[in-house]
Amino acid sequence: MNLSNHFLRLSRLVAVTISSDFKFYRVITLWVKEYFPLLVLFGSHLHTPHLFSTSCQRDFKPLQIAKHSVVKSSFEAASHTQNLFIYLFAFLFCPVPKGLRLVANRSYSCEGLGLTEIPKLPLMTKVLDFSFNFLISLQNSTFSMLKNLVHLDLTRCQTNWIYESAFESNDRLENIILVGNNLMFIADTAFRGLHFLKYLDLTQTGLTSLTFIPMQDLGNLETLILGNNYIQLLELPPHFPTRKLKYLDLQTNFIHKISAKGIDALKQVQNLTLVLKGNDITQIDVKAFESMFFYTLDFGTCVNIPVILEGLQGVRTVVLWLGTFNDKAVPPISSTMLQGICNLSVDNLNLQYHHFSDFSADTFKCLGKLQKLDLTYTYLTEIPSDLPEMNALKELNLNKNSFMHLCNISSSAFPHLTHLYLRGNSESLDLGSGCLESLSELQYLDLSSSHIENLDCCSKELHGLTSLQYLSLSYNKKLVLHDAAFKNCANLKVLDLASTQIFINAPQGPFFNLHFLQVLNLSNTQIDLSIRHILKGLESLTVLNLSGNKFESGTILKDNLFQEVPNLEVLTLTSCKLLAIEIKAFSVLKRLKHVDLSHNVLTAFNSDVFFSLKNIYLNFSSNRIHVVPPHTLSSLSGQTVINLSYNPLECTCSNTELITWYKQNTDKIEDSEKTVCAKPKSLVGVKLLSVNLFCGYSTAQVILITFAVITVIVLTFLLITRCLKRMYQRI
């Protein structure tokens, strides 16, 4: 039917619509049946995408996204204002089945929908997650309509065949993920046209050889992941993409031998990360890696360390990973095994979860040039005191070992150490006196979770650490802090004492000399917050966490400990069992930007507590607030955000100002889905944004007014009917 006929039908439909004896529901039915084809015809004349010829059928696999997503995506595709009306009509009248999910602008997820073909998507789609569906083969027509694709995820789609020029229409693709597909055939020209491809993931695809992958069209590849396959020989094929390669992952294959010829192509690569962990490597040609430069060489869980080190002679790498994992049974390492490191150039060495059969000074004989050494969980109880100085070492990781005394780490052997990690020590660690005094350059010290108990902390224990900026003593047993407890660490910027029982015996204050401290974590320390001078000297403090501690009588008074920290910006007081906060309690904190008062028992929200409520984040979730006074809401200006979720809010006329403000200021609301009514019973669980209250009249008044309005309408109708009847009788 041509366009003129459609207009003729439309004019008849209008005439029928205005007819006095035509039923309303029939009018609507005719409009939908007659007018909709005209819209589709308009769309075809305007060169719009065919969204309706298929998308509006219930039994079709359409652009299966939420209705708001249809409108959003359609708006992008439209190039004429008329198109917008057509899309809006489709939104209102077309049944849109559930399924495809709009993740972000031009990004779509079809994950796990059981699809067997690519649905019709907007031509501008850039990101497509089609994982966990069914695509047995990939052909040149599979993605031919999606010419703007940049990211494609086909994880576990049971794909077995990739035919010629499968991605030729997708020359903008940068990432392809084919994880978990048992690839039986890949055509030589399968990747033709992928000039911008940077990331290719072929994990668990059943590969047995690198030659199975056609690489002549992958010249710009940066990341190639081939882990968890059945590759036995590390022999890089011709045309292997080395020009821009940065990351090559071959972990957990069946590689036993590495030949010099097989990896010769890697000599053209600089700063490559090569992952070979999980392979049972038994042979590497001598000097196979000579003159090569890597960023990371990962041989984790590879058992035969002497073979690996011998094969790596002459290599230059920033990171050498020889560590294993807790669930891997590996033979102990001897000092002799590590002698091969003398012929390597390594900055960072990882030996985690290994056991040393003869840990001695000889173990460190070839480690003198290291900058970072990771000995996590290596069953150490002490480090030999006769070690030669390791002057280049900057970072030492001794986490999860069994030191009894801090002096047992022989810190004098590492005079230029800047970072020391001794977290999760299995024994109760005695801090001793001056055990770290030789570490004058130390900036970062982590002693958390080490069962530390000290009744006179921490002046002598931290003697000499004049450069220290970060200190963690969190998750230990008990510390008693005296005056200027950290007087030898005057440059501290971050102090973490969380979840360690803290007792204060300091008339002047334990932190009064920490003028540069910016972050202090005292959460769950059972500290006595009634001591007003506890924060004295912390004029630079910007972040303070006091969660899990109790204020006297459950009230923060106007005259409180926060008077000492006027520059505070972030204050966390969660789970402090707070009942009330006095007016102007935080008025001295003029720079406050973030306040977390969640999980308390506050019954009121009072804006007079703060100096200003402009551009501030307020978390009052999980309290007992019922009503928010109207005057407090007017103070929430600028980019202020408030969270009132999980409060027993009343959705009654006594709280109507809050509900009105809430709807008008959605940009200032956090977690609106969990901000619901607790009263009355009829509205329990209803979101505040969905509540409509009619206040100002009593129930009796509402009934009376309703009755009066209905009466007037009925009388008016009868009067008009009577007048019309008389008029017809005269005729």
List the 501-505 sheet strands across, edge first. 453-457, 478-482, 501-505
pTM: 0.80
| DSSP state letters, 173-236 | --EEE-TT----EE-TTTTTT-TT--EEE-TTS----GGGS--TT-TT--EEE--SS---B--P
The pLDDT of residue 447 is 98
Helix intervals (H) in 370-502: none
Q: Tokens 């055939």 label which residue?
A: 185
- Among the listed residues 581, 577, 630, the one whose alpha carbon sits nearest the alpha carbon of residue 600: 577
- Reduced to 3 states, what is the DSSP secondary structure of residue 430? strand
Amino acid at 162: I
* Cis peptide leading into residue 458 (ω within 30°): yes
- Cα within 13 Å of Cα(475), Cβ side: 10
Number of residues in the chain: 731
- Residue 629 in contact with residue 608, Cβ under 8 Å? no
What would the pLDDT profile of 152-171 be if each residue is shown by its tens digit? 999 999 999 999 999 999 99
pLDDT averages per 10-residue partition of the chain, 731 residues: 45 41 39 41 36 28 33 36 38 41 74 95 95 97 96 98 97 98 97 96 97 95 98 94 97 97 94 97 94 97 93 97 86 92 97 94 94 97 93 98 97 97 97 95 98 94 96 97 93 98 92 96 95 93 97 91 95 96 92 97 89 91 92 84 94 88 90 92 89 71 78 87 80 68
Distances 156 to 36, 159, 250, 590, 605 between C-alpha atoms, Å:
40, 7, 19, 55, 52
Query: Cβ contacts of residue 378 below 8 Å, gap of 6+?
Result: 351, 352, 353, 354, 355, 356, 401
Torsion, CA 448, CA 453, CA 456, CA 462, rounded to 10:
-30
Exposure string of 621-631, with b = 16+ CB inside 10 Å and e = fewer, is bbbebbebeee
Amino acid at 398: L
The pLDDT of residue 647 is 94
The pLDDT of residue 28 is 38
Q: What are phi and psi of 182, to 5 degrees?
A: -80, 90
The pLDDT of residue 101 is 55
- Residue 592 in contact with residue 563, Cβ under 8 Å? no
- Residue 602 in contact with residue 581, Cβ under 8 Å? yes
The pLDDT of residue 277 is 96
Two tokens, residue 494:
């971050």
Distances 589 to 24, 255, 549 between C-alpha atoms, Å:
65, 62, 20
As beta bridge partners, residue 646 has none
β-pairing, 101-104 vs 107-109, is: antiparallel
